[in-house]
């Protein structure tokens, strides 16, 4: 069963919490007092319960309360026994009557003067004319009822009744009417029947559903008894006495020093907001033209209901504003003034405003901008928040009833109140979009909010602005106290209650506060010595001129919540200007989520920020509501921009067989959520059928945000390259579900030959390559065992070449670049394999890496230009000891990619120059360190990884180990929709002794015989490498589930293995390892794939202590991979210890991890990544990198010595005949012997 919460507030007549109250809730024993006068009960069933509230010395009240799902709030007002009371909704409101006083409201100035004369003739004491049109008289309690009856018959008298509230702040009295709310579907006959029983008449059916206005002949407090009897009727929901009450303005008159600038405009970032609106202008709309949004939309109107904005009426009845800021037209040519109406005098002008307050509020909200003055070159006065919006000036009656105010508000919004008041204005053709009210009703009269006003606010926000809701702004008041009882309309859930902050972004000292404040805006704070607000004033009544020689039509002394409220209302008009479709609740949400949390560290019990929704973020303050308005951010967030970025989706130059994704892409900026769906297509209109297919569903979404950040919803479309020269075209239609807008998309595609790669191996043959590698093999043997993998695994169209080098490069015996050809037997493979197999060392050879690089570049230069990618892989085991040094390479000599493998430790090889060369030429350096038996396949893997990277192939998994006789290994790996060709590669010294098959996700087995009918898939054994080369999908097994793994299944054949052991008996160490562990293997899966991992390793130095940064970039079809992948780096340190480091994803698809290389030596970095594709298919990727540091690593790069330069000079002279050797011999100098003596001694040193 759903359980609900009941909040109970208990107040006294002064609206103060009653700390000693006792609350009993039927069926509940867990009533908790949360603060004085505030109680809460949790876990209530949704039913009607009885609530009893009592306090010592006060009258107990009991009430039946219907508990609804969620939050329930009930208000109780207790007073001493015997006081009269009226009802506001479900709340009983006791009061202390002024039984000798009568309140009278009069229509019009002449009628008021006539009434005053009549009262003097009758010798009736006028207590005070409180406001124009309101008179309070002092009578005799016993005779007031008869007097009231007489007064009602006088011309111009609107209402007469006993005073129920009277103080220096205001007056409220019973008007003689009753506001009735009936159950739905009650008709007029039924209401009239109920009324007749009590001697009442039905004055009118109010425009609000189920509301009626009844008239009573009662002129005393017995009217309240009629209300109680009505309330007892089963047809009646509520029966409230209509009160007539005064209003008060919420202005402040600061005493601080005058200022001459509108500091509040930049403070809330209005200029930036205006610029954002200008940027949102439709194409072709220029500043100042009809559709210009810069200063707000000319199609919107703001109503200021206040003391009036002064007008003048000429002899022809034309009404115009007297203030220049409200004269002239807005950008669409319509008058700035939408209209005037004075509801005190019931005339369509504000010729006799009650004061300056309305003009001041109107100026803050909507004074014109950039309007010329009468002085050439000077623009007039000030600017409001929404200068280009129109203004409806409404002069509030000095005193009025709730029925009148309900009618007024409905009328301002362009709704028909169906009023029967004489001279009530006709329905507006254009209602106000925003209404601002900086005048509050006298609190005892309108608090709690009546059923009538509650329904009024609901209708305004449900039906105003064509159903989107009129925005209602009310000032919170300036008494520095709880606002809810003083300004209950500001506390209504459908209105905006605005508090005031100051220019220091702290609470304005006077501003009311409390739970229910919506927002705050900057205003005056004279008590803190801070500035006030500069705005318009009644012409001639201010203290500032708007232009040279002008009248004092402006003031620099405005403030209070009276200023904060129209300022916020003007900003709201800017939000509607940006998007007229915003609902009132969307405007509220934008304000709430963009407001600045000012004074965040305050610890005041009312002012401190607190969490309101349980997300752990403090988002609300009783001082500031949800914060101080930030116009620029709010206006930005209000904008909804939906833009198709790709009306044409082009698949340009797609290689044969390669699947490619492109996106139908939108740019969307909005706080709203949007869904985009393909409703037609994709349809291929030219080329092979079904050339364009949806890849990851037909839908993309934008998730609304409050950060003014655009997203890019993408619907993915897939095209697979067919045959070179093919072209295709297609179409699709995408609809935005929420708006119904449709977008047409065109597809184009063409297929080209697959780009080919060429690679040259530069193999070190210096004398040190005959040294032991550390794993039982010589370095030259490791090279021959490993480099041959390039010839085995190369794609058929990959170019292969090689050159051996030591002191010099052996170009004469180099293998020129040629296509690999078919597996095993292809000409290019055979040539490279032969070169590697015959590669031997020169015992006297030195290490001249520069010569190797130049030779490899020469071979690449001679290779066909059909190779799109060209690269060299330089392997060396020693430090540079001979020219040509890498530091001697001329600029621009190397034009292709360079990779390097160091067979040894950083201390021995000192690869600073190699590291620089590879990083400058789009490659990287790999090092083996001291090779052990555990590193048997390391160099093989290095070569395979480099080759894979050059041919757009990704390493999927890379395990290695030992296979024992009789054991069956199942090695898992994933293949998904991003992969279209897979090599499952087994490296082992004796592949013929392993029974090697693949198991598909559905259990089907692929063995060498299963691929007999597959034209593009095969099983290959080439030397120490066996592999399945699969073109997907494989017809023999069909499509497979990409969410489940494949397996390589390895079994060591016992009989064949026994024959291998017999051969190994002569190699003792190797034999012992084989008997103990079995056959060593490495299993590497590589895939041609559009899910790519790029790894970049950067060192801050080559000295110990360097910071090493590894950046991993993951892409799927060229776009950032799905966020949330896991990436880690397993780092093996020089001392053999390993550490696992988790990489952190910054921007989508980019991960970074760092470590400190504190000790000298090699840091082997193994990068592992895993995640899911856009179709939720798992994937893995692996890569190897090396970081190297050694003492002296940052020293200058090695280069030729003085001796080297002399010998080079001497050889040049000899070769060019620059020396007369015969003449030298005659002088006793043997130049050949000199050369041997000086230049040959280094030859005996190993490289």
Would you please indicate which residues are annotated as catalytic (active-site) residues?
306, 357, 562
**Strand ranges (E), 12-47:** 22-25, 32-35, 38-44
SS3 string, 1116-1177, reads ECCEECCCCCEEEEEEECCCCCEEEEECEECCCCEEEEEEEECCCEEEEEEEEEEEECCCCC
| DSSP 8-state class, residue 1215 | H
Phi/psi for 434 (5° steps) reads -130, 135
| DSSP 8-state class, residue 767 | G
Residue 684's beta-bridge partner residues?
Answer: 730
Cβ proximity of 791 and 799 under 8 Å: no
Cβ proximity of 962 and 1074 under 8 Å: no
d(CA 872, CA 855): 10
d(CA 954, CA 948): 6
Cβ proximity of 747 and 789 under 8 Å: no
Residue 776's beta-bridge partner residues?
Answer: none
What is the torsional sign of CA 81, 87, 92, 97? negative
To the nearest 10°, the Cα dihedral for 543, 549, 550, 556?
A: -30
The DSSP element (H or E) to which 1048 belongs, if any, is strand 1046-1052
Residue 77's beta-bridge partner residues?
Answer: 11
Tell me whether residue 249 is exposed, middle or buried, using C-beta atoms within 10 angstroms of its C-beta: 0 to 12, 13 to 18, 19 or more.
buried
Q: Within 10 A of 203 (CB to CB), how many other CB atoms are there?
A: 16
- CA-wise closest residue to 518 among 558, 467, 572, 554: 572
To the nearest 10°, the Cα dihedral for 805, 808, 813, 815?
A: 50
Tell me whether residue 1235 is exposed, middle or buried, using C-beta atoms within 10 angstroms of its C-beta: 0 to 12, 13 to 18, 19 or more.
middle
**Strand ranges (E), 645-798:** 648-655, 659-669, 674-686, 693-694, 699-702, 714-720, 727-736, 742-752, 756-764
Q: Residue 710 half-sphere exposure, CB side, CA atoms within 13 Å?
A: 13
| DSSP 8-state class, residue 1199 | -
Residue 514's beta-bridge partner residues?
Answer: none
d(CA 447, CA 455): 15
- CA-wise closest residue to 501 among 522, 482, 518: 522
| DSSP 8-state class, residue 1197 | P
d(CA 328, CA 388): 11
What is the torsional sign of CA 722, 725, 726, 731? positive
Phi/psi for 22 (5° steps) reads -120, 130
Which bin fits 597, alpha (ψ -120 to 50), beta or left (φ > 0)?
Answer: beta
d(CA 241, CA 913): 96
d(CA 678, CA 824): 48
The DSSP element (H or E) to which 1068 belongs, if any, is helix 1068-1077
SS3 category, 400? strand
Residue 72's beta-bridge partner residues?
Answer: 6
d(CA 940, CA 530): 77
Phi/psi for 1241 (5° steps) reads -65, -25
| Whole-Å CA distances, 968 to 245, 354, 964, 1020 | 94, 98, 8, 21
Q: Residue 5 half-sphere exposure, CB side, CA atoms within 13 Å?
A: 6
């Amino acid at each position: 069963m759903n359980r609900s919460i009941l909040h109970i507030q208990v107040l006294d007549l002064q609206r103060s919490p009653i700390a000693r109250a006792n609350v009993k809730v039927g069926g509940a024993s867990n009533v908790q007092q949360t603060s004085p006068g505030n109680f809460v009960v949790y876990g209530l069933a949704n039913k009607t319960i009885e609530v009893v509230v009592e306090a010592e010395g006060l009258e107990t009240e009991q009430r039946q309360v219907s508990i609804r799902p969620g939050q329930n709030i009930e208000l109780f007002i207790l007073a001493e026994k015997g006081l009269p009371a009226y009802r506001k909704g479900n709340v009983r409101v006791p009061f202390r009557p002024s039984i000798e006083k009568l309140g009278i409201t009069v229509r019009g100035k002449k009628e008021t003067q006539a009434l005053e004369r009549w009262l003097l003739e009758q010798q009736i004491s006028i207590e005070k004319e409180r406001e124009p049109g309101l008179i309070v008289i002092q009578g005799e309690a016993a005779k007031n009822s008869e007097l009231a009856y007489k007064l009602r018959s006088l011309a111009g008298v609107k209402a007469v009744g006993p005073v129920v509230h009277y103080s220096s702040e205001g007056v409220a009295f019973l008007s003689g009417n009753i506001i009735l709310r009936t159950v739905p579907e009650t008709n007029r006959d039924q209401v009239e029947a109920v009324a007749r029983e009590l001697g009442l008449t039905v004055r009118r059916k109010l425009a609000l559903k189920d509301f009626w206005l009844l008239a009573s002949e009662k002129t005393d407090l017995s009217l309240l008894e009629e209300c109680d009897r009505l309330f007892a009727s089963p047809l009646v929901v509520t029966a409230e006495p209509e009160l007539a009450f005064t209003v008060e303005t919420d202005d402040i008159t600061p005493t601080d020093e005058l200022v001459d600038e509108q500091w509040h405009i930049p403070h809330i970032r209005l200029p930036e907001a205006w610029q954002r609106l200008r940027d949102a202008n439709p194409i072709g709309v220029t500043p100042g033209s009809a559709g210009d949004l810069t200063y707000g939309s000319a199609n919107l109107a703001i109503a200021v209901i206040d003391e009036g904005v002064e007008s003048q009426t000429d002899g022809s009845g034309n009404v115009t504003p007297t203030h220049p800021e409200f004269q002239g037209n807005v950008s669409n040519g319509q008058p700035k003034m939408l209209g005037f109406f004075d509801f005190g005098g019931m005339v369509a002008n504000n010729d006799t405003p009650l004061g300056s307050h309305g003009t001041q509020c109107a100026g803050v909200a909507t004074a014109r901008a950039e309007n010329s003055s009468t002085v050439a070159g000077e623009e007039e006065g000030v600017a409001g928040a929404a200068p280009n919006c129109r203004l409806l000036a409404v002069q509030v009656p000095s005193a009025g009833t709730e029925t009148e105010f309900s009618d007024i508000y409905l009328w301002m919004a362009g709704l028909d109140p169906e009023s029967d008041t004489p001279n009530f204005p006709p329905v507006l053709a254009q209602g106000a979009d925003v209404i601002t009210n900086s005048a509050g009703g006298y609190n005892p009269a309108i608090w709690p909010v009546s059923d009538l006003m509650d329904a009024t606010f609901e209708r305004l926000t449900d039906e105003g602005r064509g159903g989107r809701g009129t925005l209602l702004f009310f000032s919170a008041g300036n008494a520095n106290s709880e606002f809810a009882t003083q300004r209950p309309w500001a506390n209504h859930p459908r209105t905006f209650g605005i508090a005031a902050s100051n220019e220091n972004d702290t609470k304005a000292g006077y501003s009311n506060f409390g739970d229910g404040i919506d927002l705050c805006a900057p205003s005056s704070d004279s008590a803190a010595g801070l500035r006030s607000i500069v705005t318009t004033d009644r012409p001639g009544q201010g203290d500032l001129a708007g232009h040279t020689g002008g009248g004092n039509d402006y003031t620099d002394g405005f403030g209070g919540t009276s200023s904060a409220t129209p300022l916020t209302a003007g900003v709201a008009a800017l939000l509607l200007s940006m998007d007229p479709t915003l609902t009132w609740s969307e405007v509220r949400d934008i304000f709430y989520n963009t407001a600045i949390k000012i004074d965040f560290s305050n610890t005041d019990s009312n002012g401190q920020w607190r969490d309101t929704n349980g997300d752990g973020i403090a988002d609300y303050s009783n001082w500031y509501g949800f914060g101080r308005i930030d116009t620029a951010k709010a206006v930005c967030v209000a904008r909804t921009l939906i833009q198709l970025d790709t009306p044409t989706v082009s698949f340009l130059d797609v290689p044969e067989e390669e699947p490619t994704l492109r996106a139908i892409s939108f740019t969307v900026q909005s706080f709203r959520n949007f869904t985009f769906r393909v409703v037609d297509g994709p349809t291929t209109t030219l080329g092979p059928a079904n050339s364009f297919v949806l890849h990851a569903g037909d839908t993309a979404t934008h998730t609304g945000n409050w950060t003014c950040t655009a997203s890019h919803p993408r619907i993915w479309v897939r095209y697979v390259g067919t045959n070179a020269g093919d072209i295709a075209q297609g179409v699709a239609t995408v609809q935005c579900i929420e708006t119904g807008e449709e977008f047409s998309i065109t597809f184009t595609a063409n297929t080209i030959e697959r780009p080919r790669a060429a690679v040259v191996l530069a193999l070190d043959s210096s004398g040190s390559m005959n040294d032991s590698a550390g794993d039982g093999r010589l370095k030259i043997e490791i090279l021959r065992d490993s480099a041959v993998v390039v010839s085995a695994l190369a794609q058929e169209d990959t170019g292969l070449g090689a050159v051996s080098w030591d002191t010099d490069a052996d170009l004469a015996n180099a293998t020129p670049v040629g296509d690999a050809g078919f597996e095993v037997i292809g000409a290019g493979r055979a040539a490279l394999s032969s070169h590697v197999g015959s590669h031997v060392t020169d015992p006297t050879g030195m290490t001249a890496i520069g010569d190797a690089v130049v030779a490899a570049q020469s071979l690449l230069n001679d290779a066909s230009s059909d190779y799109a990618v060209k690269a060299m892989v330089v392997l060396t085991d020693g430090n540079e000891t001979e020219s040509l040094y890498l530091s001697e390479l001329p600029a621009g000599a190397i034009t292709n990619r360079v990779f390097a493998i160091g067979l040894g430790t950083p201390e021995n090889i000192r690869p600073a120059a190699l590291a620089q060369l590879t990083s400058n030429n789009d490659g990287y350096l790999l090092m083996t360190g001291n090779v052990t038996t555990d590193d048997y396949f390391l160099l093989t893997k290095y070569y395979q990884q480099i080759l894979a990277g050059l041919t757009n192939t990704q390493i999927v998994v890379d395990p290695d180990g030992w296979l024992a006789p009789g054991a069956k290994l199942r090695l898992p790996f994933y293949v998904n929709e991003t992969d279209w060709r897979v090599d499952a590669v087994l490296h082992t010294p004796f592949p013929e002794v392993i029974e090697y098959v693949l198991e598909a996700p559905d259990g089907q087995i692929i063995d060498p015989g299963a691929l007999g009918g597959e034209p593009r898939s095969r099983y290959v054994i080439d030397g120490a490498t066996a592999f399945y080369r699969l073109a997907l999908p494989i017809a023999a097994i069909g499509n497979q589930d990409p969410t489940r793994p494949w397996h390589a299944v390895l079994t060591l054949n016992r009989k064949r293995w026994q024959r291998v052991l017999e051969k190994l008996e002569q190699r003792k160490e190797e034999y012992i390892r084989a008997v103990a562990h079995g056959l060593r293997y490495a299993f590497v899966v590589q895939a041609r794939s559009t899910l790519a991992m790029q790894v970049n390793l950067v060192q801050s130095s080559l000295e110990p202590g360097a910071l090493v940064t590894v950046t991993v970039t993951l892409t799927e079809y060229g776009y950032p991979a799905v966020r949330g992948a896991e990436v880690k780096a397993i780092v093996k340190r020089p001392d053999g210890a390993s550490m696992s480091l988790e990489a952190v994803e910054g921007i989508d698809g980019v991960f970074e991890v760092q470590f400190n290389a504190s000790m000298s030596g090699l840091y082997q970095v193994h990068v592992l990544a895993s995640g899911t594709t856009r179709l939720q298919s798992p994937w893995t990727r692996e890569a190897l990198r090396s970081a190297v540091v050694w003492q002296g690593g940052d020293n200058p790069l090695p280069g030729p010595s003085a001796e080297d330069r002399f010998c080079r000079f001497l050889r040049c002279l000899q070769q060019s005949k620059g020396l007369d050797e015969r003449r030298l011999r005659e002088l006793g100098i043997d130049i050949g012997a000199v050369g041997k003596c000086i230049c040959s001694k280094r030859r005996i040193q190993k490289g």
